[in-house]
Structure 1
Amino acid sequence: MWKPSLASFMLICAFFIAPVHSGYDRDQAVPVEKVLYGDISSVRNITETQLIEDRNQGWKTFGGALVGGVIGHQFGSGSGQDIATVLGALLGAGVGNRYGSSTQVQALTLVELMINQEDGSQVMVIQDYDPGMVFTAGDRVRVVYLQGSVRVDIAR
């Protein structure tokens, strides 16, 4: 019969606690579709509240059950050991489910820009607020159209 060691227990814990890579690379070049210049006609700061739920909840419950079962298996012998393993798995799943969940509320600060572009069109862009780039009505801006998105910055 397999007897778990401290090393196997730590490997199981490390698997469930390891950080998840977001997949965003800062050194990635993104092709630009077009760039237009324009003047801002209005600026409005917006705050958006966003509920962020933990998408790894099921894995945390499973991990808690696995770790609880491993710990419970250390106690008793025979059928008592089987009962301790099942009870440990149930308690571990409960702890993983209860304390592993992390729902947070995040407030995002955005800026809404109405821009009269040099080609005669008018666009409204909502983007993240950057305290290093504060927009005011009348500012000359550059509107950079990327694949599937747009970004505005002050033309210099």
Structure 2
Amino acid sequence: MKKLTFLILGFIVIVWIGVSVSLPPKLEATSDDGHWKAEYNVGHSAKGTWKGDLYWKNVEGKMTSLVFYQDGDILTGDLVWSPAEYVDLNTLNQTEFIYLGEKPKKDATYTLHIKWLENGKEFEQVLDFNEKRRLFVIPRLD
């Protein structure tokens, strides 16, 4: 009985790894100073939708623009936000930059351009995405 249990568990783990490795790699980007981190990943493993999340730490002020590019073409974002739409970096530490995205193209270049105001000065950060393979993807069926 123990052998059968271990065989079944081993089979499940091998299938899980196989399915995880066969999924397209997620895209990740981190700023040189470590204040900004972004992920472009499968939003729901059972579906083909992708979403992008931006995280920050030790950044203050208000985000005034967030634009996601593929090979220099805008995928999502608006170059002109009104002050009412600014994201408060002091009270939040995460926001989405794309929700119903498409699977990344293999040889495409993806960048995220962030602009924010801090103490009346405007700053800009550009994040370049790199592929990251995953070994264990936990399915999200919500």
TM range (shorter): under 0.3
Q: Greater share of helix residues, 1 or 2?
A: 1
CA radius of gyration, larger in:
1
Q: Greater share of strand residues, 1 or 2?
A: 2
